[in-house]
Every structure is written in C-alpha cells, then in structure tokens.
Amino acid sequence: MSDTKTKRLNQIFDATLRLTGEVGIAGLKMSNIAQEASIATGTLYIYFENKEELLNALYFKLQKESVPAIINDISHLAINIQLYKMWKIALERLVDNNLRIIFLEQFVISPYISESNKQIDIGFKNYLKQILEQGKSENLIKDANSDMLITLIIGFVRSFSTQIVNDCSGQLTEKSIDESFSICWDAIKK
Amino acid sequence: MSDTKTKRLNQIFDATLRLTGEVGIAGLKMSNIAQEASIATGTLYIYFENKEELLNALYFKLQKESVPAIINDISHLAINIQLYKMWKIALERLVDNNLRIIFLEQFVISPYISESNKQIDIGFKNYLKQILEQGKSENLIKDANSDMLITLIIGFVRSFSTQIVNDCSGQLTEKSIDESFSICWDAIKK
Amino acid sequence: MSDTKTKRLNQIFDATLRLTGEVGIAGLKMSNIAQEASIATGTLYIYFENKEELLNALYFKLQKESVPAIINDISHLAINIQLYKMWKIALERLVDNNLRIIFLEQFVISPYISESNKQIDIGFKNYLKQILEQGKSENLIKDANSDMLITLIIGFVRSFSTQIVNDCSGQLTEKSIDESFSICWDAIKK
Amino acid sequence: MSDTKTKRLNQIFDATLRLTGEVGIAGLKMSNIAQEASIATGTLYIYFENKEELLNALYFKLQKESVPAIINDISHLAINIQLYKMWKIALERLVDNNLRIIFLEQFVISPYISESNKQIDIGFKNYLKQILEQGKSENLIKDANSDMLITLIIGFVRSFSTQIVNDCSGQLTEKSIDESFSICWDAIKK
DNA sequence: AATGAATGAGCATTCATTCAT
DNA sequence: CATGAATGAATGCTCATTCAT
C-alpha cells in the first residue's frame, strides 16, 4: 500500500474514532468524518464503498492491531504469568486509547457490523482457551467450563477498562493492573 | 393509569423489545415499532413525546422491574448468601427475557439515554457497595477497591448472561448458576 | 385502488410527463417531480420504491392505455380499413398528448427501463402481424417478410408523429392522416 | 492535426461508442470513457472542454462521415436509382457499425445535443428533398408533401437498421436491401 | 383517541471537473 | 501533455414528526 494511501486511511480512521467519542456510532455522518479528516466528502468514497465498509474496515484494523500485541510470544512462560501479561497489555491498549474502546463497544452492537467481523473475536478466544486448558492440566486452573472462565475474564476486562475510561479521574496504574489481575486470578485458579 | 393505556403501553414496549432483538437500537424506526405493535405511527406520539422519550420510558420500566426483584429484603442473610441470591435473580431475569438484556446493553451506550436514566444504575450499585463494605468489615470480602469488585461482578453477570442468550443451545441451569457464582465468589472473597 | 391513490398517482405521472417535455428523462429530478406535482419529495417514495420504479410504472401505464385503444375490436373489418383505423388512432393518441411520445421515445433507450417493460411492445406487434398475415392470405398485402412490414409501419408512425409534435406549427388533420396512410398502404399492398 | 492527437481522439470516440452500446448515453460517465480509452480522466479535458463538447464532437464526426458517403455524386442517375443507392449506402453504414446507430439515435434526443448539431441533419434532408421534387416534376414520385415522404423514408431506414442490429441473427443481405427498398419505393412512387 | 398519508429536513452517495505532480 | 486523486455541488432517498380526517 502506498504511503499516501496509508496516510489518508489513517486520517479517516482517526477522524472516525475521534467523532465516535463525541457523538457515538449512531451519530456519525460521512460529511462530518470528512470534515474532521480535513478532506472532501467525496474523497471518503474513493477509499470506501460506503459508510458500512468504512466502519467495518476500522473495526478490522483495531482488532488486527490488538490481538497480535496481546498474544505476542509468551508461550514459554508460566500460565499465570502468561495470563498476567495478556491482562496487562489488554488493559493498557484499551485504556491507552479510550476512543478505541468506545468505538469497539458500540460497533459490535451496531447494524453496521458485517458477518465476517462478527467472527473476528474467535481467534483470540481460542488462544485464551488453549492457555486455560494447559493450566487445567497443570492443576493450576479450576476445573470449570473453559467458556465460562473466558467469559468471566473478557467481561471483567471490558467492564474494568470501560469504567476507567468513563471515570474522568480514572488512571490505569501498575497498582490497579495488579490488583485487578489478582482478583481475576483468584476467580480462576484452583 | 387506565387499563387501556397500560395495555397500549405494554403493546408498544413489547414491540420495541422484539424489534431491538432484530435490528438493534440504532435500527429502530418509529413506523416499524407501530407496525409491530399493530397500531398507527401517529398513535405512538399520543403516548410519547418522541422516540427518545419512548426508549427512555422503556429503559426506566425495565430497571424499575429489575432492581426491586434483585434486592428484595435479603439484608438479614449472610453476605455470601445475599450475593448468591442477587447473582441468581440477576441471571434468571436477564436470561429469562433475552430481549431485555439486548435492549439494556445497547441503550446505555446509545445517544438516546437521558441524564436521569444514566444515574439509575447507581442506586443498585450503591446497594451492592453496602453489602461489599459490610462483607469487608466481617473479613469475608477482599480488601480491594469496592468499585473494582462491583465492576468485576457486573461485568461477569453481563458477559455470562449475554453468552447464554447468544449461544443457541445455552440454558441457565442450577448447576451453571452455582458454578458461575462460585467463580465469582472466589474472586472477591478474602 | 382507492380514489385518493389513483388521483395521487395521476398527479405524479402528469408532473413527470410535463417535466420530461421540458428537461428530458436524463434531466428528471425527484425533487422537481414532487414540486411539479405539488407534493413533498418524500411522498413520491410512498408510491414508488425509487426513481426507476416510478418511470417504469409510467411507461407501463402509457403502454397499457395505448394498446387496447389501438386494437379495439376491429377484427370484422376489411384489412385496409383495420390498418387505417389503427393508423389513425395511433397517430391521434401520439400527437394528442405530445408529452406522451417524448417520454416514450426517451424512456425506451434510458438506463431506467426494466427487462419486463422492454418486452411490452411485443403484444401489439403480434396483433399487427396477424392482420398482415391475414392480408397476405387474402392477396391484399405484399408477400414480403412481415417483420419488415411491421418495422416499416411503426417506423413511419413514430417518425411522422414526432415530426408533427416537434414542428411547432404542426397539426394532425384528417387530410394528413389520410395522406400518410395512403403512402403507407401503397408500400405494403400487393 | 498531429497524428498523436488524431489517434487520441479516435481512442476517445471509440471508447464512447462502445460504452454507449452498453449503458446508453444517459449512463455515460467521464471516468468510464477514460478507462475504456485507457487514458486518465483528466486527459479527456485536454481534448474537450466538457462532456457535452465531447459528445457533440462525436456526433459531428459521425454525421460528417455519413452524409458525404451517402450523397456522393449520383445526381446524373435516374431518380429511383439515386434513391436506391442512398438507401443502400445508408443501410450499410448504419448496420456496419451498430454502435454508430445506437449513439445517433440516443444523442439526438439527449439533453447534450447543441443547437448547431440539431441543424446538421437538415443538409441531408434538403438534398433528399431536391431529389424528391425533381422526381415529382418527372412524374415519378407521388404528389404528396415532400416533408412527409422524407419522414417516411428516414423513419423506415432507422427502424429497419435498428431492427437488424437488435435482432441477434439479423444480417443485411442484398436481398433484404432490395426488398426493403422496393417497399419504400412503392410507398413514394406515383 | 386513533389513524396513516404527507411532510421536509437531513444524510448518503455520485460524478463532472480541477489541479498539483 | 498526461495523470488520477481530490473536490463539493447536486441529487436520491430516509424517517421522525405532524395533522386532517
């Protein structure tokens, strides 16, 4: 992809994220996205077929960026350390760019999400499942249904990061990362 | 309120819940709600000023129905029993009418939610906070930040009920209620 | 169909025909059609899915009105009288409402015409073919390819009516009808 | 005109004719013409002020090519031979390149045609008129209104060539040329 | 109160034309 | 000259809301 195109796409994605933070996905207008990105409305349609494709492309990009960063080569570590690292990276990524989490939370329930993007989470969940299964075999993790444990973990990360983002004075500190992970670990350890 | 009016309101609310399950909140159209409720579009505006008021009224009704049921006079029981009962009732209510949870999840992040309704959750959270504080003083609950614990609990209940609703074969059994609560309890107990 | 609906459709069709005469089919705008029909733009979309459907419906109506009028119960008459009556009615109908011919001529080559409407002429052509075949068997009509004769007749009617319509001072008189038919008849008679 | 320029113009004209056959004049887009001609959109505007000029230039070129070929020095021949030769050349030219006829038919009723191009037919019609007038004075041609006869002839040529072009299996043979002319001649001869 | 056709402001999308490279 | 990405005015279409019946 040419540098110009990449740059233009990022301009558009950044503008979309910024606006989502202000007006939500339901309030997004193509003309506003263009204005926020300092381009003409028509230019958006050079890069995307329509509004739906633009939003799905942004979702795909955010997911693509997130998952590898989270699961990056930690397979040699102890289970609880692996989980801790994933926990930390997930929280940091989500909270670091709070616009990201606002967009993701809203997009997944919007009428715009495509079938293919609906399935995109599954890769990460499978990876998490492997770790949990291994933990069970090492007698470190509870013998509960893995799907339930995964639901617990993801539900907590989402709630927690959303809370920090929405709480104006909220900050993600080492202490809060450790404390939240500790709670999560107690929930799933044997 | 006259019986006719109550009946009419329920017709509208049921139609709205049903449609939300199909098209999401962002996809709701007043004309469709009317059609689904077997009334004329104009009739909606006899009962509600506009779309925003209709949705907020539905949210208010769902919350009003849920909260009392959950917190109904259990203050004399042991902390973990109180929490277990709340856990069970919350799960049952959410899963029982899956349209309810879909609507609630979407509404709280929609542009339609009013300031007053944004605060409605707080009552329940304060109640939960009291229980947790009492638990801490009885040395049963972790000495962690109560808001974090609440976030954990609510995040898990939401994720878990959503998963059961979305999983076609998902059923809420005594076993899954107990198992999920057990995990949650391990997370917050001392 | 209710009277109101019929009236509304005619309002829209009339407005469309009038505008086609001014700006041609390529220049038609939905907002202008609405304005010309003294209704709101949105109202057009109550009666028609989109612009394409509106135009196809108008074409269908014009054709439906024309064909029966032309072929109305003349089968007992002599061949040349039958043809003369069809010739006269066709010319009168086309010239009588010159907007009709302008619309028809433009629509059949526009990108809006649907496949089903493309086939609509065939009914009339088949009727004409029967008459010509009968004429041949009675030794009144040339033994030439019927399709060619039909093409001749229709081509001439179209050209002639278009010329009269476009010629500002043009009038369709009994004399010009008779004269033009006489020429046509000489072309096809044995 | 430089060779390069001539070549470029032909590239553009050919592309325009080809596209008109596919999407009609109303469906022509400058970007598609450029693509079909394997040049950049902007390049079109080096050779033509705008879309209207491009189409009018193409129409003018097609007419310039056609008329001389049709009326080329046949004035010494008998009237019916003159007409036969014109008939034959006209049919051959039109059918030879069916895209030509599609374009011409659509362009003359499009909103793009300029006043000057509207008059371009008149030269040919005047020539035809002279022949018919001469034929009348020689007692060979009917004493009918010449404009009507011209309308008949042109209408038939157009319909007939269009039919051959649209009829997939249609071929222009010596036999069909002779047969069609014979019919036409019967129509106008005394 | 109930109706539902009508409204029109608002938004998504198109495409002829321009201009920096 | 040639390019093609960028432009933005113009246009098709939507849908919350109104109002005559």
Residue-wise pLDDT tens digits, D146-182: 888 888 888 888 888 878 877 766 678 898 899 899 9
DSSP class per residue in chain B: --HHHHHHHHHHHHHHHHHHHHH-GGG--HHHHHHHTTS-HHHHHHH-SSHHHHHHHHHHHHHHHHHHHHHSS-TTS-HHHHHHHHHHHHHHHHHHTHHHHHHHHHHTTSTT--HHHHTHHHHHHHHHHHHHHHHHHTT-B-SS-HHHHHHHHHHHHHHHHHHHHHSTT----HHHHHHHHHHHHHHHB-
Helix (H/G/I), strand (E/B), else coil: D141: strand
The answer, for B187 touching chain A at a CB cutoff of 8 Å, is yes
State the Cα angle at D147 between D142 and D148, rounded to 5°: 65
pLDDT at A67: 67
CB A48 within 8 A of CB B133: no
Whether the model clears a pTM of 0.85, i.e. scores above it, the answer is: no
What pLDDT is attached to residue C54?
Answer: 96
CB distance A111 to B24 below 8 Å: yes
- With cut-offs at 50, 70 and 90, classify the pLDDT of residue B69: low
- Residue C25 DSSP symbol: G
Q: Is D188 on the interface with C (CB under 8 A)?
A: yes
pLDDT bracket for residue B72 (50, 70, 90): low
Q: How long is the CA C182 to C1' F7 vector, in angstroms?
A: 60
B111 touches strand E (CB under 7 A): no
**Considering only CB atoms, which chain A residues are within 8 Å of B186?**
142, 186-187, 189
Identify which has the larger pLDDT, C56 or B126.
C56
Contact A131, A153 (CB under 8 A): no
Nearest 5°: the CA angle A148, A153, A159 is 120
Closest CA to B20 of B68, B65, B62: B62
| Number of alpha helices (DSSP H) and beta strands (DSSP E) in chain D | 10, 0
Residues 23-52, chain D, touching C (beta carbon < 8 A): 23-27
pLDDT of B171 above 70: yes
Which pLDDT score, from 0 to 100, does residue C161 have? 84
Indicate if the pLDDT at residue C136 is higher than 90.
yes
Q: Which residues pair with C189 in a beta bridge?
A: C141
d(CA B127, CA B120): 12
Tens digits of residue pLDDT in C151-187: 888 888 888 887 887 776 667 889 889 989 999 999 9
- A109 in contact with B, Cβ within 8 Å: yes
User: What is the C-alpha separation between D71 and D84, in angstroms, rounded?
Assistant: 11
Take residue D184 and report the two structure tokens written for it: 């036409």
* pLDDT in the model for residue A169: 66
List C-alpha distances in Å: D41 to A19, A45, B116, C122, D35.
Answer: 34, 17, 56, 41, 7
CA-to-CA separations, C154 to A89, C35, C83, C150, C188, in angstroms, rounded: 78, 35, 12, 6, 13
Range B141-163 average pLDDT: 86
Neighbours of D31 (CB within 10 A): 10
Which of D110, D151, D188 lies nearest to residue C26, judging by beta carbons? D110
Sign of CA dihedral B17, B23, B28, B29: negative
Average pLDDT over chain D reads: 86
Mean pLDDT of chain B: 86
Cβ-defined contact of B145 to A179 (cutoff 8 Å): yes
CA proximity to C107, closest of D26, D160, D32, D20: D26
Q: What is the pLDDT of residue A139?
A: 93
Q: Which residue of D has its CA nearest to C22?
A: D111
Residue A59 near residue A107 (C-beta atoms within 8 A): yes
With a pLDDT cut of 70, the percent of chain D lying above it is: 93
Domains delineated in chain A? 1-47 (1.10.10.60), 62-188 (1.10.357.10)
Between residues A105 and C45, the one the model is more confident about: C45
Scanning residues 29 through 68 of protein chain D, those with a beta carbon under 7 Å from any atom of strand E turn out to be: 29-31, 41-42, 44-45, 50-52
Ranges of residues in chain A whose predicted pLDDT is under 70: 1, 67-72, 120-121, 168-170
The residue lying closest to nucleotide F6, measuring its CA against C1', is A43
Chain C contact present for D105, CB below 8 A? yes
The residues, any chain, with a CB within 8 Å of residue B141's CB and separated by 6 or more, are: B79, B132, B135, B149, B188, B189, B190
For the stretch A135-174, pLDDT in tens is: 999 999 999 888 888 888 888 888 888 788 777 666 788 9
* CB–CB contact C155 D158 (8 Å): yes
Is B71's pLDDT higher than 70?
Answer: no
Best residue in A186, A188, A189, A190 for a mutation probing chain B (most B CBs within 10 Å): A186
Q: Which residue has the tokens 């056609």?
A: D66
**Which bases of strand E have any atom within 7 Å of the beta carbon of a protein residue?**
1-20
| Mean pLDDT on D57-85 | 81
**Token code pair at residue A20:** 């989502």
Q: Are D and B close enough to touch, i.e. 3+ CB pairs under 8 angstroms?
A: no
Confidence at B160, pLDDT banded by 50, 70, 90: confident
Tens digit of each residue's pLDDT (9 = 90 or more) over B99-139:
887 888 788 878 888 888 877 666 777 888 888 999 999 99
CA diameter of chain D: 59
Higher-confidence residue of B158 and D121: namely: B158
